[in-house]
Each structure stands twice: as C-alpha cells, then as structure tokens.
Amino acid sequence: MFSKRRKSNRAEYPIPAPAAAPSPPPSIELPEDLTANILQRLDAEEIIVSAMLVCSTWWRVCKNPAIWRVIDLDYRRCQQSDDFDNIRSAVDFDIIWRSAVDRSQGQLLELKLAYLEAEDGILNYVAERSSQLRCLTLERYFGRDDVAWTDAIKKFTQLEELHYIIMPEFDIIDFETIGTSCPMLKSFTYNEFCCEQSEEEDDLDDGVRFSVRYGVAIGKTMHNLCHLRLWALETKNEGLEAILNGCHSTFGDAMVLI
C-alpha cells in the first residue's frame, strides 16, 4: 500500500525571466557611411584618442582610409598646462600624426599642420606615404628645417594648393623649388612673420629690389597659378608684371597683395 506524497508547505514562486540585453545606442545602428560622415567632422586628435575607442563599429569605420583623406593636425589641441605634461604632449602628438598618416594608406589629399615646434620628420614622412596629396597648409610651423622642407616639397609633385601662413621666411630658391617641383600648383598663399629687407638687399646692382625677385621667381616657375595671396611682401610693378606674364592662367580678382 502506497502512502500519499505529502504536499510541500513551501510557497511556489515563479522563476524570474532573465533580464533583457540592453539595446545598442542609436549611433551603432547608423549606416557606416553616415557614421564616417559624422566622424570626419571631428579633429584627427579626437578621432584617434577617443572616438575610435567608443565601440567596435566606430573602430572599424575609423580604419577606413577614406576617413583620412583630409587631416587637420594642430599641436595646441594636445598641449597641457605644465612643462612635464607638455613633454608628454609632444610624445602623444608624434604618435597621433603618425597614426593619422598611416591610416590614410596613401589616400591623403589634404593636410593642415599648425603650431608645430619641431620638424620631427613629419613632412618627409607624409611625402613618402602620400603621393596623391593635393593641398598642404602650414600655419605657424616654426620648427621648419630647411633641408627637410626642400627634400619633402620635391616629392609633392601632385600638389595643387600650398598655403604658407605666419612661417619662417622663404628665400628665392625656396620659391623656385616650389614652382619646379609642383608643376600643377594652382593656389599659393605666402604670409611670413618676418620680411624685413636689409640695406644690402635694397642696393642690388641691377636696381631691382630684393622683394621684386620673389615675383620674378613666382612668374618664372608657377605657370598654372589661378589664385595667389601675398601678405607683407613689398614689391613693385616689375614683380607684378613678372607674375602676370609668367602665369598662363588669368587671375582676375584672385590675386591679393597685402
């Protein structure tokens, strides 16, 4: 004879369902081309230091060379408040610009470098890896090394725009090197921070002022210029005539002399 199973006095509680996984943030679900469009609006430093570490999707998008066709690098965005941190900032910036150039995988078209205090081989590094570069802007790049500059500019054979803003002075050979090395140059900006003429340069034997020779060098070598901006560079009619006669394109209102 079987005894009846005794009922348990324990209350029966339902087993809780596992918590639902959190839904991904809306940014993750965006198409990658739209995500790339958004990320391209950030500075290169922001992308490398923070944005690309947000998630695997952004990491993958940031590895696309297309996002690095335009690079804007400004050392001030890496600077810290004290001297020790500034040493670290220089190291960090070196890592950042190398990473940005490497990620472009030869597709870099436009580069801006601002407030660099040392050469560090950056121009030659770019020149050796970015043969398609079309636009180069150097602003307050006080660490320019003349030899490195000359070696690099000779490799930018596809350059169409060069903007040289508040920088160490060019000499005549620099102008001629730019013109002969960059035959496709269409837009040129020159704004140096010191352009005083010496008395010796004012008394050239041929009677032409030293600054006029800049115009002669431009007209002799930069035949395809369409836009020219010269700041704080005194010249005379001889220099302007040399530019206008040497450049095959019609400037119209595109020449600015300040």
Q: What is the pLDDT of residue 177?
A: 94
- Rounded CA-CA distance 120/152 in Å is 13
Per-residue pLDDT of the chain (258 residues; tens, 9 = 90+): 555 555 555 556 566 666 655 666 666 667 888 888 888 888 888 899 888 888 888 899 999 999 999 999 988 887 754 443 544 566 688 888 999 999 999 999 999 998 887 666 888 999 999 999 999 999 987 767 778 888 889 999 999 999 998 877 788 889 999 999 999 999 999 887 654 444 444 444 443 455 678 888 888 899 888 888 887 666 667 777 778 877 766 555 555 554
- Rounded CA-CA distance 42/28 in Å is 17
Q: What is the pLDDT of residue 155?
A: 93
Q: Determine the distance from the C-alpha atom of residue 173 to the mean position of all C-alpha atoms in its chain, rounded to a whole number.
A: 25
Cβ 100 vs Cβ 77: under 8 Å: no
- Rounded CA-CA distance 53/57 in Å is 9
Cβ 115 vs Cβ 75: under 8 Å: yes
Q: What is the pLDDT of residue 137?
A: 95
Q: What is the pLDDT of residue 90?
A: 64
Order of strands across the sheet with 135-139? 70-74, 110-114, 135-139, 161-167, 187-192, 227-231, 255-257
- Rounded CA-CA distance 167/23 in Å is 51
SS3 state of residue 230: strand
Q: What is the pTM of this model?
A: 0.76
Q: Directed axis angle between helix 210-221 and helix 172-181, to 10°?
A: 10
Q: What is the pLDDT of residue 200?
A: 46
SS3 state of residue 38: helix
Count helices and strands in the chain by DSSP H and E runs = 10, 7
- Rounded CA-CA distance 94/75 in Å is 10
